[in-house]
Amino acid sequence: MKREQIPQHLEQYFIDLRDKEGIELTQGQKNWYYATWRTLGDKVKQEYPSTENEAFMASADAYFYAIEIAGARKDSRIIPLKYDPERFVYVAFDLGVFDYTVLWFFQYYDQNVYFIDYYEDHNKSYDFYIKFMLEEKRYNYGTIYLPHDAAKRDEVTLLSYADKVRNMLTEKHIDVHVLRRDDIIIGINLAKVLLNRCFLDTSKCAQGIDHLSKYKRKWKEGAGWIHEPLHNEHSHAADSFRMAAISLDFVKAKGSNFNSRHQDALSAVQRMI
């Protein structure tokens, strides 16, 4: 049987690997790559990168925040942070009654955003997380930011999740704010803006940072990595971080300082809304 000829564009790719990268493939390796390409198409470079640059590009294509997390590490913005008790701590929630609930704890001062802590758990009621905040994380809280679905009322009590949280915090003088329902892609862009300037605690936020770095796009045959999130174990932390990004407008309205470079970037993204 006559061996099927490898397409010209792949032959040129193998030549470029040899001439530009010093990678010489055997005929058997070329045949394997061609057979794999016939199955995966252009996804072959994401699944089986031949060079370090391809591996990075695959990561950037597949994961929403790969470039931003790499930039934060390069700029030394993932470092040990100190909690400033003289400043408010804000909390962004992603709610999940039968799923994961995630809390990002952050502060704003000196024109910077500091993520000082992270927590996640699952199959717990709303009061568990509020008690955990008050008893285990004794921060000087300013505002708790909840997603839009926290406004939905319980059919039995006629109280929303947000109402129940407010009732628990009445004597603590902690504000509760339900955020608007956002377009998820616009929210992701806001989160990218935030990741390009914020600081994250290397220890307390390690689990959250790992989730953010693995927040992935969906793969669609014929289209590649599409601009739609894959819902998995990493998406809850990313959803909560997106709530933090959306909350920045409200923190600013209360008098927090932002540098002009961040505000310009934030305004440009919000004009898309």
Check residue 156 and give its pLDDT: 58
Beta strand pairing call for 112-122 and 199-201: parallel
This prediction has a pTM of 0.73
Q: Which of 1-5, 168-172, 208-212, 224-228 has the lowest mean pLDDT?
A: 1-5
Check residue 169 and give its pLDDT: 87
Q: Output the CA–CA distances (angstroms, integers) from residue 173 to 43, 211, 251, in the order listed.
A: 53, 32, 16
Contacts of 164 (CB under 8 A, 6+ apart): 126, 127, 157
- How would residue 240 be classed by pLDDT, with cut points 50, 70 and 90? very high
Task: Set out the domains of the chain in order of their start, with CATH numbers.
Answer: 8-61 (no CATH), 71-270 (3.30.420.240)
Q: What is the DSSP letter of 171?
A: G
Check residue 126 and give its pLDDT: 81
Check residue 3 and give its pLDDT: 61
pLDDT tens-digit profile of 26-54?
A: 998 988 888 888 887 766 776 777 876 66
Q: Please say if the pLDDT value at position 94 is more than 60.
A: yes
Tokens describing residue 18: 């040899």
pLDDT tens-digit profile of 47-66?
A: 777 876 666 555 667 889 98
For residue 203, give the 3-state DSSP assignment: coil
Contacts of 161 (CB under 8 A, 6+ apart): 95, 126, 146, 149, 150, 151, 152, 154
Check residue 98 and give its pLDDT: 65
Rounded-to-integer distance, Cα 138 and Cα 131, Å: 10
Q: Please say if the pLDDT value at position 147 is more than 80.
A: yes
